[in-house]
Amino acid sequence: MTVRAGRSVVIVRTFVNIKKMVKKNASIGEKSSNFALQSVDMSKLEQFKIDLQTLKEGVTDIHFDIDDSFFEAVAGDGVQHGNLVCDVTIDRNADVFDLDFHTEGSVTVQCDRCLDDMDQPIASDYHLVAQFGDDYSEDDDLITVPENEGILDTAWFIYQFIELAIPLRHVHAPGKCNPAMMKILEEHSAARSGDGDGETPVDSRWAALAQLKNKK
């Protein structure tokens, strides 16, 4: 399902190539371990399964605490660490359910400037509608849940909401970037400026920075 945030998003990542190079070796091991965690820790996601059939008419409020165990169990590629809360308000009208998700807290992301991890505060509000039907389906923001089961698993939706709330650009506050990384960046920026032609590819500019990151 593609969750719509009500706005068009054009993602421009200046440092995508360098990030892929830095994280290439680590990601292979992380993916295999995440799949193992997913099979072991699926019980951690049970609380995110809502039995719609048991909900009374009117409004029901549900609160979720989200930490690293949630991200380990979901095993998504984008976010692995964070501490957040998610409050879900469900308004039932017969067999139609309006769900409002409010999520806030912080997640760990990579600084676009120095490549170190940083805490990124986020907050988001999203809306879904669920209804009973014969088979499970997703049509934009409308979810059809088999009536004979009646269970709506919100874990992956909440994960998507968290990912969508992360700003396109995330950098440390002034003075908080890794000093060693910033020194390398300044040296290479100065060297490039002195070359005159200024046509050095982005990857070459950041090669030493990536090498230093790999040694950490």
Lowest mean pLDDT among 44-53, 102-111, 169-178, 203-212: 203-212
Which pLDDT value is given to residue 206?
54
Residue 3 CB coordination number (10 Å): 18
Q: Which pairs count as long-range contacts for 26-30, CB under 8 Å and 24+ apart, including other chains?
A: 30/80
Query: Which of 103, 95, 92, 104 lies closest to 56 in space, CA to CA?
Result: 92
- Structural domains in the chain (count): 2
**Does residue 148 share a domain with residue 208?**
no
| 140-155 pLDDT per residue, tens | 889 999 999 999 999 9
Structural domain containing residue 194: 179-215
| 93-115 pLDDT per residue, tens | 999 999 999 999 999 999 988 88
Quick one: residue 150, left, alpha or beta (phi over 0 = left, psi -120 to 50 = alpha)?
A: left
**Does residue 82 share a domain with residue 30?**
yes
Q: In this structure, is residue 200 part of a structural domain?
A: yes
Q: In this structure, is residue 46 part of a structural domain?
A: yes
**Does residue 202 share a domain with residue 122?**
no
Q: In this structure, is residue 3 part of a structural domain?
A: no
Q: How many CA atoms lie within 13 A of 89 on its CB side?
A: 8
Q: In this structure, is residue 171 part of a structural domain?
A: no
pTM of the model: 0.68
Q: In this structure, is residue 44 part of a structural domain?
A: yes
Q: In this structure, is residue 204 part of a structural domain?
A: yes
**Does residue 209 share a domain with residue 111?**
no
